[in-house]
Amino acid sequence: MSAPEETTPQPRRKGLLYQPDRIRNMCILAHVDHGKTTLSDYLIASNGYVHPKLAGKQRYLDWREEEQTRGITMKSSSIALLHVPRDDKGQPLEDDLKYIVNLIDSPGHVDFCSEVSSAARLADGALLVVDAIEGVCVQTHAVVRQALSERVKLCLVINKIDRLIGELKFSPIEAYARLVTIVHDVNNVVSSFASEKYIESADLEGGDDDGAEFDVTREIDDDDLLFSPSRGNVCFACALEGWAFRLNDFAKLYSKKLRCNEASLLRALWGPYTYSSKAKKVTKIKADEGNKKPMFVQLVLDPIWQSYAILDESEGHAAAVVGLASKLGIEIEPKEIQRQEPAGMLRALLSRWLPLCDSVMGMVVEHLPDTVAGARERFRALLSLPGGDLRGADAEVEATVSAFEFGPDDAETVGFVSKMVALPTESLPAEHRGLAGGEETAYLAFGRIFAGTLSVGQTVHVLSPSYDPSDPGRGRKEGKVARLFLMKGRDVDALPAAGAGNMVAIAGLGEAIHRSATLSSTPMMRPLEPMTYQSAPILRKAVEPKNPADLQRLARGLELLYKADPFVEIESSKEGEHIVCAAGEVHMESCIKELRESFARCEILTSPPLVTFRETVRATSLEHKGCKTQNGMCQFEVRTSFVPDDVAKLISSESHRLGLMVSAMGEGRGVPEVARALKAAAADPSSRLDAASVWSLGPEYVGPNLLCAGRVSVRSESGEEASSTIGSPAVSQRLGISAAVEEEEAPSKGEEGLAGHLESISAVLEDGIKSAFQMVAAAGPMCDEPLFGVVVTVDVTVDASKLSEYADGGPAAANFGPLSGQVISACRESIRAAVMASSPRLVEAYLRCEMLTTSAGLAGTYASIGSRQGYVAKEDMREGSDIFLILAYLPLADSFGFVDELRKRSSGISSATLSFSHWSCNDEDPYFVPKTEEEREEHGEVSQLKNRSRRLLDGVRKRKGLLVEEKLVASATKQRTLAKKV
3-state secondary structure 645-680: HHHHHHHHHCHHHHHHHHCHHHCCCCCHHHHHHHHH
Which pLDDT value is given to residue 900? Answer: 87
- The residue ranking higher by pLDDT, 905 or 977, is 905
Closest listed residue to residue 561, CA positions, set 575, 546, 541, 576:
541
Q: Are 144 and 536 in contact (CB under 8 A)?
A: no
Which residues, in sequence order, are bridge partners of residue 92? Answer: 86
CA distance 114 to 107: 9
Would you place residue 216 in the very low, low, confident or very high pLDDT band (cuts 50, 70, 90)? very low
Q: Are 305 and 293 in contact (CB under 8 A)?
A: no
Which pLDDT value is given to residue 107? Answer: 87
Number of other CB atoms surrounding residue 117 within 10 Å: 25
> What is the percentage of the chain residues whose pLDDT exceeds 90?
28
CA distance 496 to 790: 57
Lowest average pLDDT, out of 186-200, 649-663, 913-927, goes to 186-200
Lowest average pLDDT, out of 263-277, 673-687, 707-721, goes to 707-721
Closest listed residue to residue 911, CA positions, set 891, 932, 893, 884:
884
Collapse the DSSP code of 835 into the 3-class scheme (helix H, G, I; strand E, B; otherwise coil) and give the result: helix
- Close Cβ partners of 186 (under 8 Å, ≥ 6 residues apart): 128, 130, 136, 140, 144, 156, 227
Which residues, in sequence order, are bridge partners of residue 483? Answer: 507
Overall average pLDDT of the 157-171 stretch = 90
Q: Which long-range contacts (CB under 8 A, 24 or more apart) does 720-725 make?
A: 720/750, 720/751, 720/754, 720/800, 721/751, 721/754, 722/747, 722/751, 722/754, 722/755, 722/758, 724/755, 724/758, 724/762
Residue ranges in 868-975 assigned as alpha helix (H): 898-905, 933-939, 948-959
Q: Are 632 and 641 in contact (CB under 8 A)?
A: no
Would you place residue 959 in the very low, low, confident or very high pLDDT band (cuts 50, 70, 90)? confident
Overall average pLDDT of the 145-163 stretch = 91
> What is the percentage of the chain residues whose pLDDT exceeds 70?
88
Overall average pLDDT of the 679-685 stretch = 85
Overall average pLDDT of the 867-876 stretch = 90
CA distance 328 to 245: 15
CA distance 532 to 530: 7
Give per-residue pLDDT as tens, 401-433: 888 999 898 899 999 999 888 888 888 888 888
CA distance 462 to 363: 36
CA distance 337 to 472: 67
Confidence check: pLDDT of 843 > 90: yes
CA distance 448 to 132: 33
Give per-residue pLDDT as tens, 570-617: 988 777 789 999 888 888 998 999 899 888 889 999 988 888 899 999
Closest listed residue to residue 112, CA positions, set 77, 76, 70, 67:
76
Exposure string for 279-311, b = 16+ CB within 10 A, e = fewer: eeebeebeeeeeebbbbbbbbbbebbbebbebe
Closest listed residue to residue 179, CA positions, set 880, 897, 939, 942:
880
Which pLDDT value is given to residue 200? Answer: 58
- The residue ranking higher by pLDDT, 239 or 12, is 239
Phi, psi of 754 (to 5 degrees): -65, -45
Strand bridging mode 790-799 / 710-715: parallel
Residue ranges in 728-810 assigned as alpha helix (H): 730-735, 752-778, 800-807
Lowest average pLDDT, out of 207-211, 376-380, 789-793, goes to 207-211
Number of other CB atoms surrounding residue 145 within 10 Å: 17
Confidence check: pLDDT of 831 > 90: yes
Confidence check: pLDDT of 637 > 50: yes
- φ/ψ region of 99 (left if φ > 0, alpha if ψ in -120 to 50, else beta) reads beta
**What number of CA atoms fall less than 13 Å from residue 886's CA on the CB side?**
26
Which pLDDT value is given to residue 440? Answer: 79
Overall average pLDDT of the 480-495 stretch = 89
Confidence check: pLDDT of 284 > 80: yes
CA distance 802 to 631: 8
CA distance 773 to 700: 10
CA distance 961 to 782: 13
Confidence check: pLDDT of 210 > 60: no
Confidence check: pLDDT of 840 > 90: yes
Q: Are 854 and 893 in contact (CB under 8 A)?
A: no
Lowest average pLDDT, out of 236-240, 532-536, 729-733, goes to 532-536
Overall average pLDDT of the 928-939 stretch = 78
Overall average pLDDT of the 794-820 stretch = 78
Give per-residue pLDDT as tens, 687-734: 888 888 999 998 988 889 999 999 888 877 666 677 788 888 888 888
Confidence check: pLDDT of 95 > 80: no
Would you place residue 434 in the very low, low, confident or very high pLDDT band (cuts 50, 70, 90)? confident
Would you place residue 6 in the very low, low, confident or very high pLDDT band (cuts 50, 70, 90)? very low
Would you place residue 396 in the very low, low, confident or very high pLDDT band (cuts 50, 70, 90)? confident
Which residues, in sequence order, are bridge partners of residue 443? Answer: 422
Which pLDDT value is given to residue 197? Answer: 64
**Mean pLDDT: which of 234-243, 438-447, 815-824 is highest?**
234-243
Closest listed residue to residue 126, CA positions, set 108, 109, 112:
108
Which pLDDT value is given to residue 8? Answer: 40
Confidence check: pLDDT of 211 > 50: no
> What pTM was estimated for this model as a whole?
0.78
Closest listed residue to residue 120, CA positions, set 413, 416, 406, 367:
416
- Close Cβ partners of 494 (under 8 Å, ≥ 6 residues apart): 429, 431, 432, 483, 484, 485, 486
Which pLDDT value is given to residue 817? Answer: 74
Which residues, in sequence order, are bridge partners of residue 155? Answer: 127
Give per-residue pLDDT as tens, 766-800: 999 999 999 999 999 999 999 999 999 999 988 88
Phi, psi of 76 (to 5 degrees): -70, 135
Angle of helix 138-149 relative to helix 113-122, nearest 10 degrees, comes to: 30
Closest listed residue to residue 109, CA positions, set 128, 149, 79, 137:
137
Q: Are 153 and 124 in contact (CB under 8 A)?
A: yes
**Mean pLDDT: which of 92-101, 556-565, 943-952 is highest?**
556-565
Largest CA distance in the chain: 114
- Close Cβ partners of 848 (under 8 Å, ≥ 6 residues apart): 138, 887, 889, 914, 915, 916, 917
CA distance 430 to 592: 30
Would you place residue 223 in the very low, low, confident or very high pLDDT band (cuts 50, 70, 90)? low
Cα–Cα distance list, 432 to 120, 480, 614, 916 (Å): 29, 16, 50, 42
Collapse the DSSP code of 335 into the 3-class scheme (helix H, G, I; strand E, B; otherwise coil) and give the result: helix
Confidence check: pLDDT of 12 > 50: no
Would you place residue 749 in the very low, low, confident or very high pLDDT band (cuts 50, 70, 90)? very low
DSSP 43-111: HHHTTTSS-GGGTTTS-TT--SHHHHHHTS--S-EEEEEEE--B-TTS-BSSTT--EEEEEEE---SGG
Confidence check: pLDDT of 193 > 90: no
3-state secondary structure 219-284: CCCHHHHCCCHHHCCEEEEECCCCEEECHHHHHHHHHHHHCCCHHHHHHHCCCCEEEECCCCEEEE
Confidence check: pLDDT of 667 > 70: no
Q: Are 78 and 110 in contact (CB under 8 A)?
A: no
CA distance 337 to 897: 47
